[in-house]
Amino acid sequence: MDGRVLRRTVVLVACVAPVASPVRAQTAAELVSQRYDVDPMHSTIEFTSTILGAVHVRGRFTAYNAAIICDPNHPERSSVTAVIQASSINTDMSFRDDHLRSPDFFDAKQFPMITFVSDRVAAVPGGATVSGMLTMHGVARRVTFPAKMVLSPRATPGNNGRVAFTAELKLSRGDFGIAGTNKFNPDYTPLTTMLSDSVDIILELTATRERYSSHQLGTGSPPGVADTVNRVLAQRGVAAALEAFRTLRSTRAADFRFTAGQLDVIGHQLAERGSLRDAVQILQFNAELFGDTPGVLESLGEVQALANDSNGALATYRRAAAKFPDSAAALEMSRRLERLSHSTER
């Protein structure tokens, strides 16, 4: 973790494969194994509008995360939750961006998040059609758009699994109550500026499923405590490893780095080796210490789901969603595990 960031949007495109077997309910382990997070370092969420009937104004959002459940055999079971921070709008002109954040447009203080939650994915040649609820400026509207797969290399041990896609859609500002007035910027004249109601949205996104087996432990200055704890874990087991962490943290705090990411990496590496019970213990301890750090609870929920502890994973993801309402991973996994719970009860 150490600032491990959640990630992104509609990688459902990669889920466009022929249906090969009868549909059955997914297990918690299958759901979480099919989850990808958008990588903001290799993605863009851009928009284009026009003024004076012809001049294009381009911008982008720079802060967002999304989680995608991608079922390659049954694309109709794929889904996505995306969260964009409205205040991250950037058109490369600071005074214009301030105006766009104001109540004249997005009113980012009152409506800080733009969210998309899919409710239907349908396979089409070369991609998918994605439908769901887009909520912006406090208004929810159903949108449907095509998405096209760009790249889908196979994941290998030690390397991230990646999928990439592009999508375009048109939105109406008026549909979401974004009037574009000049109460907060008298220099802006709506009548003469002729800002278009229609806005083109362009998505170019890469999403990953992170692999932890190649992560280096004990690096940095001071070194991370993970390497020392991991050696104790290999020799004497989980209980001794956690006791070593406690002892070193209380007696040698200046000699090591005791951040949330230390035990997080160990927990994920254990999970990748199939030691799920040990991984859960490590990540539960990490959540007790660093539960207020973004991503920590999501890691615990992920490993609980891999262990097919649906109830435990759902409870953990709900905690994460309550604490971090902009966590797309927590929101997406909570709703999918809830749906799974209801399907198994019937």
* Residue 32 falls inside a structural domain: yes
Note the pLDDT of residue 152: 55
Note the pLDDT of residue 344: 64
CATH number at 162 reads 2.40.128.110
Which three-class secondary structure state does DSSP give residue 1?
Answer: coil
CATH number at 243 reads 1.25.40.10
* Residue 92 falls inside a structural domain: yes
Considering the domain architecture, whether residues 249 and 315 belong to the same structural domain is answered as yes
Task: Please report, in angstroms and rounded to a whole number, the separation of the first and last CA atoms in the chain.
Answer: 37
Considering the domain architecture, whether residues 187 and 255 belong to the same structural domain is answered as no
Return all residues near 25 (Cβ < 8 A) that are at least 6 apart. 340, 343, 344
**What is the spatial distance between Cα 287 and Cα 317, in angstroms, rounded to a whole number?**
12
Element (H, E) at 289: helix 276-290
CA 229 to chain centre: 29
Determine contact, residues 35/141, Cβ cutoff 8 Å: no
- Domain end among 209, 242, 266: 209
Considering the domain architecture, whether residues 119 and 250 belong to the same structural domain is answered as no
Which three-class secondary structure state does DSSP give residue 250?
Answer: helix
Note the pLDDT of residue 240: 98
Note the pLDDT of residue 18: 43
Peptide bond before residue 103 is cis, with ω within 30 degrees of 0? no
* Residue 270 falls inside a structural domain: yes
Note the pLDDT of residue 302: 97
Which three-class secondary structure state does DSSP give residue 107?
Answer: coil
For the CA atoms of the chain, what is the radius of gyration?
22
Return all residues near 306 (Cβ < 8 A) that are at least 6 apart. 28, 29, 32, 33, 271, 276, 279
Helical residues (DSSP H) of 42-93, grouped into ranges: none
- Burial environment of residue 207 by CB neighbours within 10 A (0 to 12, 13 to 18, 19 or more): buried
* Residue 78 falls inside a structural domain: yes
Q: Tokens 């290399």 appear where?
A: 153
The domain of 235 spans: 226-345
How many CB atoms lie under 10 A from the CB of residue 61?
19
Note the pLDDT of residue 166: 85
**What is the spatial distance between Cα 203 and Cα 169, in angstroms, rounded to a whole number?**
9
Considering the domain architecture, whether residues 280 and 188 belong to the same structural domain is answered as no
Note the pLDDT of residue 149: 65
Q: How many domains does the chain have?
A: 2
- Burial environment of residue 185 by CB neighbours within 10 A (0 to 12, 13 to 18, 19 or more): middle
Q: What is the 3-state secondary structure (H, E, C) of 290-335?
A: HCCCCCHHHHHHHHHHHCCCHHHHHHHHHHHHHHCCCCHHHHHHHH
CA 258 to chain centre: 25
Element (H, E) at 119: strand 113-124
Low-confidence ranges of the chain (pLDDT < 50): 1-14, 16-22, 155-159
